[in-house]
Amino acid sequence: MPNEFQVVFHNIDQSDALTDNVQKRIEKLRRFSSEIIGGRVVLNSPHNNMHKGKVYSVAIEIHTGGKPVVVTQEQHDNHAHEDLYVAIRDAFNAAERQLKSVDKKHRKEAIHKNPDAVDDGLDDVKDDELPEYTQAIG
């Protein structure tokens, strides 16, 4: 189905609170790119490690009209990721940065391909209507 995300729980009990948290973050990502088609979020809890505790990992795949965005947060040494909500936050923050970067590159490419598509607001102004600047202040 277009424009939908699949949320997968691996070795984690599914809860409404986790699902709601992920859905809210997905909606926030949609504000940064109108080209998001869908994707997948995988919440994973590796088997217990007797020495380090349980460190969660989050993987996000975002399908856009152009290049897909993939984020994998597997920081086994990051004790902050012993909290699943922190791991989700960090993964979505990384996805947001990537989406902004892809969108910025996409806009630059569009401008270079068609510079006339950028409206500088001066097309309708006649030369004699422009103010004349005779002195710089500074």
Which of these, 88, 94, 95, 90, lies nearest to 15 by C-alpha position?
88
Output the pLDDT for position 76.
58
Q: What is the CA radius of gyration of the chain?
A: 22
Contact 69, 99 (CB under 8 A): yes
pTM for this one? 0.68
Q: Cα 86–10–54 angle (5° rounding)?
A: 50
| CATH code that applies to domain 4-129 | 3.30.160.100
- Digits of tens for pLDDT over the chain (138 positions)? 455 899 999 989 999 999 999 999 999 998 878 888 999 999 998 765 555 567 888 999 999 887 888 998 766 556 667 888 999 999 999 999 988 887 666 555 555 556 555 555 555 556 666 666 566 665
